[in-house]
Structure 1
Amino acid sequence: MITHCRWLFKTYFNFKYRMKPDPYQINTSRYEQTKIAKSIEKIRGQKFQNVLEIGCGAGYHTEFLLPFSDRMLCIDNSGEALKRAREKISDERVTFKQLDLVTDNLDEKFDLIFCSEVLYYLDLEQLHAASARIIDWLNTGGTLILVHALIEGKYIERSILKRPGARTIHGLFMESDQLCTIYDTIEKFYRITVLKRR
């Protein structure tokens, strides 16, 4: 069933953000800072009217994306993460909304969609449904940025948790006839792919 374990993930992330304001150390880690800088490298100098950030967490990536945005919608399935994000960012251009990528939908389209370290929390059935939804949310000519860890070689992640890694996730989007690949690079621990909607 496509909604399998969604409540468990929501509980897990609520707990993580309740225990630590920055559980992934995005604000202090040189690795994370370098990763986000490389992720937005291909959109420098551009401005997007309507931006969607999928899995915004506590809003650390939101700060990096704001200079490119006239308006941002930032979604996450964790209410605790969104609480911290609202405390961190009070810019009137930004709206935060609790939404589960698997079970909920949006009735608008975006010029830029940014999705970092989110989709490997879905199983393959959920990933196929979510990818179709994400592509549908993207305006014609819109840009999609994907950033995910390379976990295919990790036995627990791949065989026990059944989590797809960057090669599987990004490959699925790159195979879509609705998207064309603008940029794709595989770093030591993660992959960055930039695509455009045809």
Structure 2
Amino acid sequence: MGLLAGATMTTGGLLSACASNGEGAASQSADGLGVVSSSGANQAVQADPATPPQPVGGKVLVAYYSAQGHTRAVAERIAAATGGDIFEITPENPYSDADLDWRDDNSRVTREHDDQSLRDIVLSQVTPDAFEEYETVFVGYPVWWQMAAWPVNRFVRDNDFVRKTVIPFCTSTSSSMGSTRQTLEQLAGSGEWLDGQRFGENPQDGMVEDWVESLNI
């Protein structure tokens, strides 16, 4: 079984369902199981395009968890397209490459998959600064064993999305988004959740931007 739901295993990747970048731990590695970068973690950082567009539907936040960088790359493109801010969801105890090795029955991610009680991951920062000011929140993640990578769970569960539009997105080598959106929406218990979008490890030029434009936010 792969960490990512229905995702195909990628060399050296642990997670890869909806996020072949380590976002899926099991048979995929979209956002792959890899070292989580700490850059930009714990704070909302203004995207830095030359001339950032102004969001039509109010302030936009792009929050994401990325294990191997694939989800991060998509998040940055969404932020650039919307003129939004970025917030990296960062585990207080980051995953190492060994932690993300889904082929190892004793690795951290495998033990967490097998024991649901281990999936409540403590984050360095749960709520972005001035979170109440954002009207639209993108939530990005890789897919692990057909589930959204669990570091995202606490972010979704412990924040108030009332009067916010929430748009999920994920990365994977082959798996679909599956029921990850519905599961996260139920966990959040608030907000207007849209269907969202799944991307491969390296979306073609314009693919992310065209999707964002179709949202009319």
Band of TM-score, shorter chain: 0.3 to 0.5
Query: Would you tell me which structure has more helix in proportion to its own residues?
Result: 1
TM-score (norm 1): 0.39
Query: Would you tell me which structure has more strand in proportion to its own residues?
Result: 1
TM-score (norm 2): 0.37
Greater relative contact order: 1 or 2 (C-alpha under 8 angstroms, separation 6 or more)?
2
